[in-house]
């Protein structure tokens, strides 16, 4: 076998790409369920507990029809002790990235350790003409536990919402995205690696025989 061709084949086998980690919503819900909240000048959101450590990669606001937000919103995430860990301004319109039903702005990776009492919240406005959903059928990432909707007093501006909503899931409103686990290489990738290794061994054995002859 031509040595140059063999080297190229082995390099090809050894450089099969492995899919990198990407981001995805921490929470999703059926937009046809639930009710419409009242848009007031206050902060709304939801509380959650972290079961296994997660990495937050973006903060989001619900865009029901995926046609852009009528107003901009400041969204933040708070630690259990009340510390604001990070916040972003999510602009009106379609400038923010659309991720399913969420308009998302990326942040520097934020690691959340296991613990109870985290809150994600955002400032809402009476001029907002988009739906503020609550009481929906929802699903959350298994690394967290949903603890309930939260809101602040009217006229408070952008603050950590701590008052509990009565008997409803979160107020959406705000959410966030997390880093998802990297994909495991497919069996075919391991097969290619194995072929490459066998080819190298075979070439070395053949070369030794030729030198000994």
How far is Cα 150 from Cα 153, in angstroms, rounded to an integer?
10
Looking at residue 21, its pLDDT comes to 58
Identify the weakest region by mean pLDDT among 58-72, 107-121, 199-213. Answer: 199-213
Domain ranges in the chain are: 23-179
Closest to 31 (Cα-Cα) out of 163, 169, 137: 137
The CATH code of the domain at 23-179 is: 2.60.120
Q: What is the pLDDT of residues 40-91, one digit of tens each?
A: 999 999 999 999 999 999 999 999 999 999 999 999 999 999 999 999 999 9
Contact 67, 81 (CB under 8 A): no
């Amino acid at each position: 076998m031509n040595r140059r061709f063999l080297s190229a084949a082995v390099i090809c086998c050894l450089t099969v790409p492995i899919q990198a980690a990407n981001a995805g919503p921490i929470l999703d819900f059926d937009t046809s369920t639930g009710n419409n909240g009242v848009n007031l000048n206050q902060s709304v959101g939801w509380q959650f507990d972290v079961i296994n450590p997660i990495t937050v990669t973006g903060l989001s606001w619900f865009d029901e029809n995926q046609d852009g937000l009528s107003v901009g919103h400041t969204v933040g995430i708070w630690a259990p002790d009340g510390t604001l860990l990070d916040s972003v301004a999510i602009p009106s319109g379609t400038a923010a990235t659309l991720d399913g039903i969420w308009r998302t702005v990326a942040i520097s990776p934020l690691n959340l350790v296991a613990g109870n009492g985290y809150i994600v919240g955002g400032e809402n406005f009476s001029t907002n003409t988009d739906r503020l959903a609550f009481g929906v059928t929802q699903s959350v990432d298994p690394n967290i536990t949903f603890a309930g909707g939260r809101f602040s007093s009217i006229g408070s501006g952008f603050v950590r919402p701590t008052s509990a909503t009565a008997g409803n899931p979160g107020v959406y409103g705000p959410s966030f995205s997390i880093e998802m686990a990297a994909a495991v290489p497919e069996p075919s990738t391991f097969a290619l690696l194995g072929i490459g290794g066998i080819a190298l061994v075979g070439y070395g054995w053949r070369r030794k025989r030729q030198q000994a002859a």
